[in-house]
Amino acid sequence: MKQTNNIDPPRWPLRFLRFFVKKEFLEEIEGDMEEIFRDNVEQLSYQRARWIYTWQMLTLFRPILMRNLRGIQNLAEPAMFRNYFKVSLRGLLKNPLNSFINVFGLAVAIGICVFAYAFARWTYSTDQFHEHKNSVYLATFFADRDGAIRQYGLTPRPLGEMLKQDFAQVRKMCRVEDRNVVVKHDENVFHERVRYADAEFLEMFTFPLKWGVSASLKDPNSIILSEKMSGKYFGEENPLGQSILVKFDKERGKDFKVAGVAKDFPKARSMEFDFLINFENFRSSEPGYDFHDWNAFVNATLIQVDNPSDLTTIEKGMEKYITMQHQAVKEEWAIASFAFEQLKTIHQTSDLRNAIFRSSHDDYATIIYLSFIGTFMLLLACFNYINIAIVSAARRLKEIGVRKSIGATRGTVIFQFLSENVVITSFAMIIGLILGATVFIPGFEHLWGALDLNFRLDDPTLWIYLPAILLITSIASGIYPSLYVSKFQVVGILKGSVKFGKKNPLTKVFLCMQLVLACVFITCAVMFTRNSTYLANRSWGYNQDETLYATVPDQAAFEQLSALMAQHPDVLSISGSGDHLGKKHTTAVLHLPDREYEVDQLSVDATYFETMGLEVKEGRPFNDHDESDMQAVVVNEVFVKNILSTVNGREHPVGELFRIDSIEYEVIGVVKDFHSYSFSRAVRPTIFRVAEKEGYRYLSMKVRGGKEAETYQALQARWSQLFPEIPFDGGHQEDVWGNYFKAIGIHGIVWRVFAFIAVTLAGLGLYGLITLNVAGRAREFSIRKVLGAGLKNIAANISGQYVLLFVIALAIGAPVSYAIIKLILDAAYSYHIPVDLTGVVTALSILLVVLLLTVSSQIRKVLKANPVHGLKVE
């Protein structure tokens, strides 16, 4: 008996069979199926028999054998479907304006949804190409800075090697550190960034090579290039075996043999490399590099484990390193705890202080914005559809009446309307997909230049997403009209006693919501556009327009170059510094009685403030003679506000004392706040210290206004005359923020496009609604005209019902838009234009103009029409 139990037919197909086969056939067919099944079990295998059983079950899926499932039989009538399809098509062609509004609106909204999808997919796919994304982890630590615990993606130098020795679970370990170098091959000499990494780097990360073998990274004399760099130095040819000179600094350089070229990296990545050399090269390139110094950090340490549970073991064992670190370093650098971040999700972290991995956090925020916008656009389009469907239902009363009287139930009418909707939405979806793939996505990629969202039509999830959108949209837009239209009684319809559509309150609610949404979009567009102008004109806190800078390899080079440039008539002042605004700073930890503070630190010379145009508000800048002011600092206003005044509430910070690394410093001056980096970063407490002359790495100079371009050329010319071996690296100070202003400009453009679409959709909806309304009242207006009604009367009659609606919509829309734009600007920018009423007022004016144009066009139409035609209408 047990044995027979074991070879029962598969349960699910059997249940399914019992569900759909006609009751009177069930015993026979089930018996036949079971007999065949048992034959097959004997002759073939159990698995195979089950498979055949399932297959045979599917072949039974025929109308003649199927139970008469109520409803299904009805719907399965092909003739009925054909009729529905025909009626929908006729309806579409009969009212081209309405069909256009519906299909176009839905298509644009779906196009935006497709774009949002492509963007989200691109963002989510970041780093997912790494084969070991689940088993590779980045070591990070938490430390207390400014009274808050922060996460850092760096690691103390010795940690990596110790982890590998101490834990058997650590399969692979790799340290990563970057350095700026000069790379030379034949005539090609450029400043580059080279990445030192352990040999496991190419095993842990999936960066396949185009030429060469990954294992060659083990050889300290090998170098691996990215495809881009290979093209830059060697063109199209295969560079394997060629030698390339890397100059680490002025004295040290090394010839490397090209041992590999990586294939073009996937577009969605948070990390890549230009040049890859073995980590051991630090021994020769930086003889002072101490691999065992707990005080120093390495840019990143990554480990690979066999399975995630091993990680818990490792995490538990991290305690001893904390103790070790605490013994080795000063109190302010103490690490609170260690943590590991999985490679798969590193790109999602927002606040990891790490120089190797780029965060996609902003992109995740953008996905949320885009999904909101996509949903709102769909809503706008659906409202249009619902309104038009309700109002134009009057035209189809007879059809519904006839259908009902020849036996259609309410269900069938609802089904008819919904299926009609699916037809329209499908049209819209095809157009929307084309719009998305050929307009929105390429347009957005074009805005950003090199961006490639890698949108593909053969992506399987897209074909889950699109039908889902289709279904949701057609149900959302179709369910109410179909319920509304189908509820009327046949007798009422045929007698003509049903008053239809004109007074439906929901129509007005929907129109109201459309106007509110349009108002929000316009406000956002106006404010984002104004914000980009505002930020472009916002003061950086110093004179960025008339300043040039250049990096120098050492003090000697600085002195040669500054001596030459000082003779130039348009150069007003020259400064040397170890750090530079917008290019480089270091961080220092201050000891104050209450706690430690982390601040930005710039080491500069005495004239730096004057050269850069930094305004000294209080106290004095550094004195211009050697060895003076070595223990003095100049601070910025935020420093005073956030740190000094919270400590002792003193108004005048000059003369304040604090310690850095046990040396006492005195505040001698305060400069006005300035933006080192873009406006997207809040101004941080900053201190200036006197730079040692040997530490000069930047030369900055103030030039006569209007002479920037010529002086820049002169600077480049002098450079190549002095140092033909070293490529020039410098620029206009106003360019140091890179793409920042471009990005802000793009935000403006994107919002303007959305606002334009929203206004168009709302306007079209409004137009369609009013047109239908006026058409439905043709006879009434004709009678009014015959009885002598003039412009005033007609205008009041048509616009009357919209005035109140408009007042309500705008009364809701204005405050909502104001609140939303404030929210978005605060979330998106650290510094932005103060939110005022211009956006809202512009939105209201635009909407008012749209309404006036729409209404007046209809009034004119009524006035021009001959009343006889109106009265002749049946």
Partner 1 sequence: MKKTKLGEFEELVLLTVAALQEEAYGVEIKRELEDRLKEKLSVGSIQSALKRMEEKGFLTSEFGQATQKRGGKRKRIYTATPYAHRVLAELKEIRSGLWSTIPQLANIKIVSQ
Binding site for partner 1 (CB under 8 A): 25, 27-36, 38-39, 55-56, 58-62, 64-65
**Dist. CA 790–CA 780, nearest whole Å:** 14
Tell me the DSSP string of 85-128.
HHHHHHHHHH-HHHHHHHHHHHHHHHHHHHHHHHHHHHHHTTTT
- Which residues make Cβ contacts (< 8 Å) with residue 36, sequence separation at least 6? 52, 53, 56
Q: Closest approach of Cβ 217 to partner 1, in Å?
A: 58
Shortest distance in whole angstroms from residue 72 CB to partner 1? 18
Report in angstroms the alpha-carbon separations of 239 from 183, 196, 218, 803.
15, 20, 19, 74
Residue (31 or 443) nearer to partner 1, CB: 31
Q: Which is nearer to partner 1, 32 or 836 (CB)?
A: 32
User: What is the per-residue DSSP string for 159-198?
Assistant: HHHHHHHH-TTEEEEEEEEEEEEEEEETTEEEEEEEEEE-
Q: Please report, in angstroms and rounded to a whole number, the separation of the first and last CA atoms in the chain.
A: 80
Under 8 Å CB-to-CB from 830, ≥6 apart: which residues? 679, 680, 681, 682
Smallest gap from residue 68 Cβ to partner 1 (A): 14
Pick 61 or 85: Cβ nearer partner 1: 61
Q: How far is the CB of 27 from partner 1 (least distance, A)?
A: 5
- How near is the Cβ of 11 to partner 1 at its closest, in Å? 13
| Minimum CB–partner distance for residue 1 and partner 1 (Å) | 11
Please state the closest distance from residue 126 (CB atom) to partner 1, in A: 49
Which residues are 21's β-sheet partners? 66
Residue among 22 and 650 whose Cβ is closer to partner 1: 22
Q: How far is the CB of 54 from partner 1 (least distance, A)?
A: 12
* 450: number of Cβ within 10 Å: 6
CB 46, min distance to partner 1, A: 16
Q: Which is nearer to partner 1, 27 or 255 (CB)?
A: 27
Least separation in angstroms between residue 16's CB and partner 1 is 13
Nearer to partner 1, 57 or 726 (CB): 57
Whether 855 and 770 have beta carbons less than 8 Å apart is answered as: yes
C-alpha to C-alpha distance for 51 and 47, rounded to whole angstroms: 6
DSSP 8-state class, residue 267 = S
CB closer to partner 1 out of 33 and 223: 33
Q: Residue 62 class from Cβ within 10 Å (0-12 exposed, 13-18 middle, 19+ buried)?
A: exposed
Cβ 449 to partner 1 shortest distance, Å: 59
Q: How far is the CB of 30 from partner 1 (least distance, A)?
A: 6
Question: How buried is residue 474: exposed, middle or buried, by Cβ count under 10 Å (0-12/13-18/19+)?
Answer: buried
Sort strands 571-577 and 335-342 into parallel, antiparallel or unpaired: unpaired
Q: At its nearest, how many Å lie between partner 1 and the CB of residue 57?
A: 8
Q: How far is the CB of 61 from partner 1 (least distance, A)?
A: 7
Calculate the alpha carbon distances from 587 to 142, 577, 638 in Å.
16, 16, 16
Which of residues 58 and 149 has its CB atom nearest to partner 1 in the complex? Answer: 58
Q: Note whether 199 and 280 are within 8 A (CB).
A: no
Min. distance of Cβ 500 from partner 1 in angstroms?
Answer: 46
Find the largest Cα–Cα distance for the chain: 109
Q: Which residues contact 556 (CB under 8 A, 6 or more apart)?
A: none
Closest CB to partner 1 among residues 32, 186: 32
* Distance set, CA 647 to CA 377, 405, 594, 658, 665 (Å): 52, 86, 7, 11, 16
CB of 26 to partner 1, least distance (A): 9
| 31 vs 790 by CB, closer to partner 1 | 31
Residue 47 Cβ vs partner 1, minimum distance, rounded to whole Å: 18
**CB-based contacts of 289, cutoff 8 Å, min separation 6:** 282, 283
Nearer to partner 1, 65 or 808 (CB): 65
Q: Which of 504, 505, 511 is nearest to 488 (CA)?
A: 504
Q: How far is the CB of 18 from partner 1 (least distance, A)?
A: 12
Query: Where would I find the H helices in 257-359?
Result: 282-285, 308-316, 319-328, 343-346
Distance CA 218, CA 280 (A): 9
Q: Give whichever of 36 and 447 is closer to partner 1, judged by the CB atom.
A: 36
Nearer to partner 1, 32 or 306 (CB): 32
Are 512 and 767 within 8 A, CB to CB? Answer: no
Asked whether the beta carbons of 843 and 522 are under 8 A apart, the reply is yes
CA 440 – CA 112 distance, rounded (Å): 7
CB atoms closer than 10 angstroms to residue 39: 12
Identity of the residue, 55 or 448, whose beta carbon is nearer to partner 1 in the bound complex = 55
Burial 335-351 (b: 16+ CB within 10 A, else e): beebebbbbbebbbbee
Alpha helices in 548-669 (DSSP H): 555-566, 608-612, 637-639, 645-648
Rounded CA gap, 197 and 279, in Å? 5
3-state secondary structure of 12: helix
Rounded to whole angstroms, the Cα distance separating 702 from 708 reads 9
Cβ proximity to partner 1: between 49 and 859 the closer is 49
Closest to partner 1 by CB, 65 or 606? 65
Report the relative pairing of strands 632-636 and 663-671 from DSSP bridges: parallel
Phi, psi of 339 (to 5 degrees): -150, 160
For partner 1, the closer of residues 60 and 647 by Cβ is: 60
Q: Which is nearer to partner 1, 15 or 742 (CB)?
A: 15
